[in-house]
Amino acid sequence: MKRVVLHIDRLVLRGFDREDQAGIAEGLRAELGRLLATPQAAQALMAQHSVPRLKVAALRIAPGAQATAVGEQTAQGIVRGMQS
C-alpha cells in the first residue's frame, strides 16, 4: 500500500468570514481524506508527482451553506482539478 501525503501551503478563500475558517478547513480535510482514499484518486495524484499550484474551477456555493459544506465542495473541486 502506498502512502499519499498532500500539503496545502496556502488556501485562498475570498468572501468568507474569519469565524468560518475552521469549519471550512475541517470540511476540506475530511472530504479530501474520503475522496483520496479511492484507488482512482490516489493514482491520479501519484501520477502528477509534484504540483506547485492547482487552480480550482469556480465553485457555486449556496447562500447560507454551512462552513463544512464549503470545505467539502472545495475538496471536490481540488480532486476534479487533479484528474483533469
List pLDDT tens digits, range 4-57. 677 777 777 788 888 998 899 999 999 999 988 888 776 777 777 666 777 778
In a domain, 23, yes or no: yes
In a domain, 29, yes or no: yes
Q: CA angle at residue 21 from 20 to 26, to 5 degrees?
A: 100
State the pLDDT at residue 1.
Answer: 56
The pTM for the full model equals 0.78
In a domain, 41, yes or no: yes
State the pLDDT at residue 73.
Answer: 94
At 29, list the grid cell. Answer: 480535510
In a domain, 42, yes or no: yes
Q: Are 70 and 61 in contact (CB under 8 A)?
A: yes
Domain count, the chain: 1
For residue range 53-80, list pLDDT tens digits in order: 777 788 888 888 999 999 999 999 988 8
State the pLDDT at residue 62.
Answer: 87
Residue 41 structural domain = 1-46+58-83
